[in-house]
Structure 1
Amino acid sequence: MIDRRGLVLTLLGAGGTAAALASLFISPRQALSLTKQDLSAGCSAANPQAAQLDPELRAERRAQAGLPRACDPLWDMMHRCHVGYDAKTGNYTLTPTPEIAALDGTTVRARGFVLPLDGSDHTKHFLLGINTPVCFYHPPGEPNEVMEVLSNQPIAWNDRPMTMEGRFAKINNGELGVFFRLEHASPALG
């Protein structure tokens, strides 16, 4: 289970400083080194529904607007899932499309940006998202733009998109806004 507050406390408790945490995210100079495949041309636009209600999310989406997005057909499929947000409870809902529901339990590949959840440069538990991460307090995108990844082996974190392969699972964590998981995952070869 992903705990945003716990993530920050873990990273800070491991000796991290605010500057060190900020350095985990891609810089504008590094963004310029990404290939055209890594840029947002041709990718779906972000779903602004919940961000319209949450000022922190609005600020995050503005920061992400000029940064690269990962392009992958799976994100396009996930993006068609309907996301709801209940402002009273702060919980999200997600209605999967039939094509996403059919993927549950199958092996899939997804290319995205990594946000470590275990405070390590070699991580086995992370979020994979379509957007360049800019904040530790929110997943790097809407609920239909991120997935939790449980990797079989530690992966070296870096600021470039990577492709992971694993068993796709639909989960229901409306409190944290995480509805997809890639289990038994490993970096995709080829």
Structure 2
Amino acid sequence: MNIERLLRHVPLLLAACLSLGAQAQQQPSSNAATALGQGPGYHDPRSPIKPLQEREGVVSWPLLSSVTVKADKKRLVPSFPAGVQALDKQKVKVQGFMMPLEPGDKQRHFLLSSVPTSCSFCVPAGPEGLIEVRSKTPVRYTLEPVTVEGQMAVLSNDPYGLFYRVLDAQPAE
């Protein structure tokens, strides 16, 4: 499956996830384990990979996940708070766990996730927990968090349902 075909399915997956999340919030569960996996950026404590630590000078995932979403006909419409809108067209540093979108161990087009991937075929977060990255310098794939620097685009009407994109990215420390 090529990347364009894969990305075309992202809005459907995200809509299903948001729908399930809304249903779960409307129907309180007596099972405490169910409540543990709710909310953006959830990280399973049994994972051998540690969750991301906030770093000075790096865009915060809690800020990015503060977006709200409303369903409008066949698409989800994001509403970004002022702090997120201020990032649009700015040079930023972002960190996350890499989800390759191309073959090979060096990537120019990939997704960064706020949480580690646990399944090669699963999207680990909703659109508030993913950033599409287009890199001018290839970035080596790793299971460890990566940090890149580039121009942030805050997307209110992306055809793939994404909320964030970083262009002209380069590896950063």
Q: TM-score, normalized by length of structure 1?
A: 0.62
What does the per-residue CA deviation read over 1:104-127, in whole Å, with 9 as the maximum and x for residues that have no partner? 011111111000111221110000
Distance change >3 Å, CA 3–CA 51, structure 1 → 2: farther
CA shift, 1:70, in A, is 2.0
Q: Which residue of 2 aligns with 1:5?
A: 6
What does the per-residue CA deviation read over 1:31-80, in whole Å, with 9 as the maximum and x for residues that have no partner? xxxxxxxxxxxxxxxxx7445269xxx9xx68953334323442121111
Q: Which residue of 2 aligns with 1:144?
A: 128
Distance change >3 Å, CA 50–CA 135, structure 1 → 2: farther
Distance change >3 Å, CA 120–CA 179, structure 1 → 2: same
Q: SS where residue 52 of structure 1 aligns?
A: helix
Structure 1 counterpart of 2:104, one-letter code: S
| Matched-pair contact (CA < 8 Å) for 2:7–2:160 | no
Q: Which residue of 1 aligns with 2:66?
A: 80
Structure 1: where are the runs of 5+ without partners?
Answer: 8-47
Moved over 6 A (4+): none
Q: TM-score, normalized by length of structure 2?
A: 0.67
Equivalent residues, number: 143
CA shift, 1:173, in A, is 5.1
The separation in 2 between residues aligned to 1:144 and 1:170, in whole angstroms, is 11
Q: 1:108 aligns with which of 77, 85, 92?
A: 92
CA shift, 1:128, in A, is 0.6
The separation in 2 between residues aligned to 1:51 and 1:164, in whole angstroms, is 32
- Taking only aligned residues, the RMSD between alpha carbons, in angstroms, comes to 3.3
